[in-house]
A and B are shown apart, each in its own frame.
Chain A
């Protein structure tokens, strides 16, 4: 169990992350294995032959210009694209912990409980802060008050929001600031104890201070969770991810340790993108 770290008083400027620990022989198997995936909205093919393996308990960033398919790929991981008529994976497979998530016998409800998601636009429910965090637990059929109380506090602490809201747990989540709302959404996702958390540009609507808090949170969470984050913000990818995948026009151009991508990318397109020459 991870003890929750206190927020630092000031956010120290963070440069590119240290390289992720070198793989050792007993290294865990990659938690997400994306194998030769094509994805299409109707006749419009948006992902081409994506091969990508995401290591556990690390932050993997997906970067690339708008429309490159990174959000689509992210939403494949908890089958959120099922909601869109006519869209689907046309080739390849996605395995999480070795199990094909698109197999017919996979329970999508169970999958989504294990693979949480934080959305670009923070979407707290029009309920109290407490009820927002408790939502997932109640949905799962937990009714015991003490269990829910405990989980709500733990999740809010993990999302570094507890101290700010502990005295007003029963007021509407809409009364919070934008950054607090987004951390509430993270707390809500943590409450159901997922193994993987998908984040779709979680900071795009936040100011720099709120962004710094969420990034600090991401760095803490990776000790316990596998995080896949889509971001438009190059510095953000550099600051908080261990691995970075660069997408362009539906193709995975390059996937490597973040430090390598940002200092010495193998592909010219990657270099041009991260140095701001296009995108």
Chain B
């Protein structure tokens, strides 16, 4: 009897996670689906994905409730000259999230390039060159500690160092370095594991043929470790794309009219702030007065965001399965 009770307790605990996941996905799926999908062809709300956010204007006109975006509202006013209306404006709740998708993509690409460059290099050093000593133990402790630092602390650190001290202001490059530092421990650990998984026999075989150490690593170790490194890194991408705290002081703008490529000089590109999906969701959920009109962008944004992150995770799984079947020893 007691056995059965315990068994059921454990079973319910397990189902709890399923219930929670189902609720979250359904809630965002249903509410966000209303924004992202349409009932007429092409069934996807293209303007939501391709337009920048706009202010929403709500007002009564001839007994009808009008909800118009900024642009539509101005056109409406020119069509109805002399009409005075009491319009409520709600920020960011019309239009789409295109600049946020672009900004997040730019942040991810830059920070991953940075993190992979530094991470793979240091993993090669740790696994292939370094000899175990006090300094290397210190490095490993540093990596472990870095992995445990809360993301808001990375945000503050990036703000203090890159934004203020280096004078980069709120910019892509400050965001890249902050996010890159944040995923670095995960990339180093994953890369080191992938490198260690390459059998020692391959290294010895190569060295015995008169290859130098670097030739051995480049031709006969790294190529076999790379698939593993890249798949683990894709999970890092999901993390970089998802974090709000590190970018809120360093790279994210609540609103920006120009797209990132609309810059005067090439170098301005790196020193501009961008909009980003997680930060946009944060802004529309907490920085503007809530009412029935704000839900559209909140859940629509969350839906797109969730979809993108799941797509990245799926890619990682497919890549891993593929590389596993191709390389075996």
Contacts and interface: CB of A to CB of B under 8 A. Distances in A.
A136 B201 contact: no
Interface string B181-218: 00000000000000000010111111111111001000
A136 B204 contact: no
A80 B220 contact: no
A125 B205 CA distance: 8
B328 A123 contact: no
Task: Indicate the member of B199, B205, B220 with the most A CB atoms within 10 Å.
Answer: B205
Given A123-B201, A126-B224, A126-B327, A78 B208 contact: yes
B132 interface: yes
A136 B328 CA distance: 22
A113 interface: yes
A116 B224 CA distance: 24
Given A85-B131, A125-B220, A126-B224, A119 B204 contact: yes
A139 interface: yes
Given A85-B132, A126-B224, A109 B208 contact: no
Contact of A139 (B131, B204, B211): B211
B201 A121 contact: yes
A189 interface: yes
Contacts, number: 68
Q: Which of A78, A85, A109 has the most CB of B within 10 A?
A: A109
Contacts of A126: 202, 224, 327-329
Nearest to A135: B209
Given A85-B132, A174-B328, A192 B210 contact: yes
Interface residues of B, number: 22
B210 A113 contact: yes
Contacts of A138: 219
B207 A139 contact: no
A178 to B, nearest CB: 14
Given A119-B204, A126-B224, A136 B209 contact: yes
Nearest to A185: B205
Given A85-B131, A126-B224, A189 B209 contact: yes
B209 to A, nearest CB: 4
Interface string A132-151: 00011011100000000000
B263 to A, nearest CB: 44
A83 interface: yes
> Among the interface residues B131, B203, B220, which one has the most CB atoms of the partner chain A within 10 A?
B220
B209 A110 contact: no
B212 A117 contact: no
Given A85-B132, A174-B328, A109 B202 contact: no
A188 interface: yes
A83 B207 contact: yes
A123 B211 contact: no
Most chain A CB neighbours (cut-off 10 Å) among B202, B207, B212 = B207
Interface in B128-170: 131-132
B209 A83 contact: no
B325 to A, nearest CB: 12
23 contacts: A78-B208, A80-B204, A109-B210, A109-B211, A110-B210, A112-B208, A112-B209, A116-B208, A117-B204, A119-B201, A119-B205, A125-B220, A126-B202, A126-B327, A126-B329, A135-B209, A135-B211, A136-B210, A136-B211, A139-B215, A174-B328, A188-B209, A192-B209
Interface of B: 131-132, 199, 201-212, 215, 219-220, 224, 327-329
Given A125-B206, A136-B210, 20 more contacts: A80-B204, A80-B207, A80-B208, A83-B207, A85-B132, A112-B207, A113-B209, A124-B205, A126-B202, A126-B224, A135-B211, A136-B211, A139-B206, A139-B215, A139-B219, A185-B205, A188-B205, A189-B209, A192-B209, A192-B210
Closest 3 pairs between A and B when the two form their complex, measured CB to CB? A113-B210, A123-B201, A136-B209
